[in-house]
A and B are shown apart, each in its own frame.
Chain A
Amino acid sequence: NIFRVLGDFSHLASIFILLHKIQQLKSCSGISFKSQVLYMLVYITRYLDLPWTSSPYNFIFKVLFISSELYIIYLMARAYKPTNDPNLDTFHVEFLLGFAGLLALLFPYKYTILEVFWAFSIWLESVAILPQLFMLQRTGEAEAMTAHYIAALGMYRALYIPNWIYRYFSEPTHKVDTIAVTAGILQTILYSDFFWIYYTKVMRGEKFKLP
């Protein structure tokens, strides 16, 4: 449905905004490398079922997300490594990995490799933006492109919420994916303060600065 398609394209747009920023400005300053690595982990653990993906739409997006994320990590770790400042990217990702790992082991739908990794990926994605938001907090401001990147990334999962509501009411056979919905709501909440600042500042064409 439209919400999900808009969400997936918003996700894709966020990746291209980020790629554009890094290549245009020849710098990955202001971008959290840790968050990008977490997203890489999210895609790998979620798309283990890539080979037998039924819908071509999903297949294409999965390939796009994995390949573009690999390229972003290459750019940040190799091509533009000098512009990477690890002293600003100091969030303890082990807490996030522990959080996702624990929930994946406690409440998977089924104790199979695929399902446990899938649950891990969903929970990890819900908190993967924290290093990036933490870095933003520390620097106190961000380039407009970085703000647009985070906004598009936040919008993607936010749009999945109406998608789930729509599916709940329109597809009688649809069972609510409680893990995805819970994590999706948590993820969107984590973006809420960013969205507020983004809306009040950037929409007025001002530079993105924390109050």
Chain B
Amino acid sequence: KEKVQGHDEL
């Protein structure tokens, strides 16, 4: 599953 919960990188 792709990382989806909000993006922690700029």
Contact = CB atoms under 8 A, between A and B. Distances in A.
Nearest to A8: B10
Contact of B6 (A49, A62, A65, A180): A49
Interface residues on A, range: 20 to 34
**Which of B2, B3, B4, B7 has the most C-beta atoms of chain A within 10 angstroms of its own C-beta?**
B7
Contacts of A176: 3
Interface string A165-196: 00000000011111010000000000000000
Interface residues of B, number: 9
A107 to B, nearest CB: 10
A176 B2 CA distance: 7
B4 A61 contact: no
Interface of A: 4, 8, 11, 46, 49, 54-55, 58, 61-62, 65, 109-110, 115, 118, 160, 163, 174-178, 180
16 contacts: A8-B10, A11-B10, A49-B6, A49-B7, A54-B8, A55-B8, A58-B8, A58-B10, A62-B10, A109-B2, A109-B4, A115-B4, A175-B2, A176-B3, A177-B7, A180-B7
